[in-house]
Amino acid sequence: MSDTASATLSVERLSVGYPGRKVIDNLSLSPIRGGALTALVGPNAAGKTTLLRGLAGLNRAYGSIRFGGRELVGASATEHAAHVTYMPQALPQRVGLTVFEALLGALKASPHGRASSADRELALETLARLGIEQLAMRALDELSGGQRQMASLAQAIARRPSVLLLDEPTSALDLNHQLRVMKVVQAIARERGIVTILVLHDIALACRWCERIIVLSGGKVFADGSPDEAVTPKMFSGVYGVEARVEHCSRGYLQVMVDDDV
Ligand SMILES: Nc1ncnc2c1ncn2[C@@H]1O[C@H](COP(=O)(O)OP(=O)(O)OP(=O)(O)O)[C@@H](O)[C@H]1O
């Protein structure tokens, strides 16, 4: 994306919740830039999924979500879908489609769906990029949990969103596939200038791949900044209730050692 001004996502005074229950209350974030990865971390029930669902227009939101000069709060589902893709935490249903058919279905439903031959090419290219082209003709019902998670990620990427929201995209993956996914998502975010927010429970993975880490606790932002700024012993004790050491490894990445509860 050449227009860098349109590649930021701004959130101001955002409230999101469920009927009779506000989870995110009056939350503001400095603009999230496209082209790099942003991690959303925090303990269970902190409101991470609720925040992403609000950003994706799947839960009613109040306040302001601006992307590329457009206000998304109150925008139609079509307008939201034109910009934002949300990959849920739950693995896709075991439907009787092949990986390739499910991917084509997602592309057809996407606002960027093109002529079917271009869609087929894009579907194959996305599978190859994630290294799962050998799964193309396999039925989704027959895949392992990790394979289904990769197939779901392929669907999200192939939709070519401007804002990509990934809810625990590596939770079912082994170490090699975690690495592959983070590499591919980072490369695609850079190439296409995508605003990319990933919910991650693995703080070391977040520190390694994300330039910004937003720590959510009780629906509020506890810390927000570079890994060095956001990931501190104070954050671990205040948010997770654990005593942890944070050190740089020989390659300069942050490593976390959890010693005890507090
Ligand atoms: N459909 C729902 N109706 C009512 N409350 C809900 C619903 N879904 C989630 N909640 C509540 O909203 C709060 C935040 O949940 P959310 O799923 O956003 O947390 P999370 O940070 O993503 O947690 P986790 O790391 O466990 O996935 C929790 O207290 C949860 O019980």
Global pTM value: 0.94
Taking CA atoms only, the protein residue closest to ligand 1 atom 9 is: 50
Which amino acid is present at 85? T
Q: Using CA atoms, how far apart are residues 206 and 116, in angstroms rounded to an integer?
A: 36
Number of domains in the chain: 2
- Beta bridge partner(s), residue 196: 37, 164
92 DSSP assignment? P
124 DSSP assignment? H
- Beta bridge partner(s), residue 88: none
| H-assigned helices in the chain | 48-55, 77-83, 99-109, 116-129, 145-158, 175-192, 203-209, 227-230, 233-235
Residues 146 and 242 in one domain: no
Q: Which structural domain, as residue segments, surrounds residue 187?
A: 4-231
Is residue 251 within 6 Å of ligand 1 at its C-beta? no
Averaged pLDDT for residues 111-115 = 63
Residues 220 and 148 in one domain: yes
Separation of 49 CA from ligand 1 center, angstroms?
A: 7
Place of tokens 């409101």: 47
Q: Using CA atoms, how far apart are residues 242 and 74, in angstroms rounded to an integer?
A: 40
Nearby residues of 19 by Cβ (< 8 Å), 6 or more positions away: none
pLDDT tens by residue, 156-202? 999 889 999 999 999 999 999 999 999 999 999 999 999 999 999 99
pLDDT of residue 114: 63
Within a 10 A sphere around the Cβ of 51, how many other Cβ atoms? Answer: 28
Residue 66 near residue 163 (C-beta atoms within 8 A): no
Range with the poorest average pLDDT among 94-98, 140-144, 182-186, 206-210: 94-98
pLDDT of residue 26: 96
Residues 108 and 212 in one domain: yes
Residues 191 and 241 in one domain: no
pLDDT of residue 3: 40
Residues 206 and 241 in one domain: no
Residues 133 and 250 in one domain: no
Residue 27 near residue 14 (C-beta atoms within 8 A): yes
Furthest CA-CA distance within the chain:
58
pLDDT of residue 151: 94
Residues 198 and 257 in one domain: no
- Domain containing residue 69: CATH number: 3.40.50.300
Range with the poorest average pLDDT among 47-61, 65-79, 91-105: 91-105
Q: Higher confidence at residue 111 or residue 107?
A: 107
Burial class (CB in 10 A: 0-12, 13-18, 19+), 186: middle
Residues 219 and 236 in one domain: no
**What does DSSP say about strands 195-199 and 163-167: parallel, antiparallel, or unpaired?**
parallel
Separation of 45 CA from ligand 1 center, angstroms?
A: 5
pLDDT tens by residue, 209-237? 999 999 999 999 999 999 999 999 999 99
Residues 199 and 253 in one domain: no
Q: Using CA atoms, how far apart are residues 156 and 63, in angstroms rounded to an integer?
A: 26
Is residue 50 within 6 Å of ligand 1 at its C-beta? yes
Q: Using CA atoms, how far apart are residues 49 and 231, in angstroms rounded to an integer?
A: 20
Separation of 17 CA from ligand 1 center, angstroms?
A: 9
Tokens read off for 63: 């306040």
Residue 222 near residue 42 (C-beta atoms within 8 A): yes
Range with the poorest average pLDDT among 20-34, 39-53, 83-97, 104-118: 104-118
Taking CA atoms only, the protein residue closest to ligand 1 atom 4 is: 18
Nearby residues of 161 by Cβ (< 8 Å), 6 or more positions away: 83, 84, 85, 194
Range with the poorest average pLDDT among 43-52, 83-92, 165-174, 197-206: 83-92
Is residue 154 within 6 Å of ligand 1 at its C-beta? no
Reply yes or no on whether the pLDDT at 95 is more than 80.
no
Residue 56 near residue 16 (C-beta atoms within 8 A): no
Residues 39 and 13 in one domain: yes
Residues 240 and 165 in one domain: no
Number of the ligand 1 atom closest to the C-alpha atom of 43? 25
Separation of 226 CA from ligand 1 center, angstroms?
A: 26
ipTM: 0.98
Residues 136 and 247 in one domain: no
